[in-house]
Amino acid sequence: MNNLSEKSSDRSSSKVIREVDVAVIGAGTAGQNAFRQASTTTENIVIINDGFWTTVCATVGCMPSKLLIAAAGRAHDAKYSDQFGIHADVRIDGKQVMARVQSERDRFASFVTEQVEGWPADKKISGRAHINKDGLIEVNDELIKANKIIVATGSSPFIPDGWADKLGKTLLTSDNVFELPDLPVSMAVIGAGSVGLELAQAFTRLGVAVTLFNRANRVGGLQDEDINNKAIDCLGSDLTMHLNSEIENVGTQTDENQDLAAFVNYKDKDGRSRQWQGEYVLVATGRRNNIEQLGIENLSVELDDKNRPKDLDKNTGQIGNLEVYIIGDANANIPLLHVASDEGFSAGSAICKDNTDANVRLPAIPLSIVFCEPQIANVGMSLPEIKESGLEYVVGNVSFDNQGRSRVMGVNCGLLHIYGCKKTDKILGASMVGPDAEYITHILAVAITNDMCIKALLDTPFYHPTILEGLRTALRDVQDKMAIPYQSYDTQQDGF
């Protein structure tokens, strides 16, 4: 590939070298999409994968976590329906809960496996790839010379140094937590990002004694302080959180029954030393891209101090002018499934011969959702990004604490901020904690993608009574703060 393809060492020349047009390394969401798309333009292609041939989403991510959250939601609604005059005694069968999570998870994963099994056997290689100094891919006992390489090696849970040895079998990550045969008695969750927050609340609602730790006074990656504070207030009603805490040490010791127990030594927000003890410690401190041991530097690819590729084309994943594409979680850009899917499609299309007929997807509007309750969602530009840009903006808001349908449903805790551009009358972004956040932010994403102004969005129908009427209230607040307010004949909040 480029000048690297002309190199050949004695060691390499002693083996038979298989030459391909394209080699895809990694068979997760991004890699599979890249392989399928590239296969439409060349048959001389291979995909190399180390580990399971499904996806992180289906196997250890999106789907099993949502299955657990679904069970937790049923349990929570059953236990706390007394406000509606409905009283019930709830018994949670932990083994049945986890059995359903695993069986349904395996069902989702089987669809991916079935698709992969339909690919030609000679194009699939199971093994760990390494790129040598000649730019050749070594896998098992084979050498592969690829004209173009797509790296889609994904990511793995980040575990702080030494914690794996200290915690031993009491350590959980998102990669193994769904393999538990039964619900644990107690659990510490380290990290209040999307994974930590979702799992901490789900296990809590299923009767597990959970304590959530985070070093910052922040949850769900929120960057709007008002939304963050509201999220902490809403979530704190049924979730024990130690925010602004500093983990000093972790380990195991025998408890009063001589059973092995995990411990977490930490300083609380007031600087006092404390200790938590329990059955498991779930480490949710983020994920790191699986690229360090690949030998990517032998392709003249430079990485920064966080293993992120420099000179990255965020549309295709291409590195500079090299025929090297790094996509999905491997490029540590935006580690979300829909982004990985689009990047895989774009990279697989971009490697068309001479880049003709390439069908590259433009990057989507940033959109992230945390499936806790109430949900947390962000779309478009964040408030810090807007402030840094120098754009003149207004913030429209609505509280869901007294919003009609939200109160009817008993889910009335939340806040939405919409950031409007005063110059263009268009939406720059939004941040939210509240009911139906996944749907509200999708509507806003469509509006931003299609360059809709506030008036155009307000001219669309908002059915009554729905939680989505809260979106209209926030949009009206944006419009009222613009230079020329939108005049509406209906000025009542939420139409009631």
pLDDT digits over 61-109, tens only?
Answer: 999 999 999 999 999 999 999 999 999 999 999 999 999 999 999 999 9
Encode pLDDT of 215-228 as tens digits.
999 999 999 999 99
Per-residue confidence band for 353, with pLDDT thresholds at 50, 70 and 90: low
Domain hosting 382: range is 367-495
Any domain includes 292: yes
Per the model's pLDDT, the better-predicted residue between 294 and 333 turns out to be 294
Per-residue confidence band for 36, with pLDDT thresholds at 50, 70 and 90: very high
Any domain includes 132: yes
For residues 22 and 133, state if they share a domain.
Answer: yes
Q: What is residue 337's predicted lDDT score, i.e. its pLDDT?
A: 85
Any domain includes 173: yes
For residues 316 and 336, state if they share a domain.
Answer: yes
At residue 1, does pLDDT exceed 50? no
Any domain includes 333: yes
Per-residue confidence band for 4, with pLDDT thresholds at 50, 70 and 90: very low
Any domain includes 91: no
pTM of the prediction? 0.91
For residues 306 and 279, state if they share a domain.
Answer: no
For residues 172 and 28, state if they share a domain.
Answer: no
Rounded average pLDDT over 315-324: 89
| CATH number of the domain residue 389 falls in | 3.30.390.30
For residues 307 and 214, state if they share a domain.
Answer: no
| Cα(436)–Cα(432) distance, integer angstroms | 10
For residues 293 and 187, state if they share a domain.
Answer: no
Rounded average pLDDT over 34-60: 93
Any domain includes 88: no
For residues 268 and 317, state if they share a domain.
Answer: no
For residues 168 and 250, state if they share a domain.
Answer: yes
For residues 280 and 292, state if they share a domain.
Answer: no
For residues 477 and 465, state if they share a domain.
Answer: yes
Any domain includes 247: yes
Per-residue confidence band for 357, with pLDDT thresholds at 50, 70 and 90: low
| CATH number of the domain residue 167 falls in | 3.50.50.60
The residue among 285, 312, 342 that closes a domain is 285
The residue among 285, 313, 336 that closes a domain is 285
Q: What is residue 484's predicted lDDT score, i.e. its pLDDT?
A: 57
Per-residue confidence band for 326, with pLDDT thresholds at 50, 70 and 90: very high
Q: Would residue 415 be called left, alpha or beta, if left means φ above 0 and alpha means ψ between -120 and 50 degrees? A: beta
Any domain includes 410: yes
Mean of per-residue pLDDT scores for the chain: 91
Rounded average pLDDT over 51-57: 90
Q: What is residue 259's predicted lDDT score, i.e. its pLDDT?
A: 81
Q: Of 172, 248, 164, 165, nearest to 210 (Cα)?
A: 172
For residues 329 and 392, state if they share a domain.
Answer: no
For residues 12 and 136, state if they share a domain.
Answer: yes
**CA count, 13 A, side-chain hemisphere, 151:** 32
The residue among 243, 259, 285 that closes a domain is 285
Number of domains in the chain: 3
- Please, are residues 266 and 276 in contact by the beta-carbon 8 Å criterion? yes
What tokens appear for 213 in the block? 């730790």
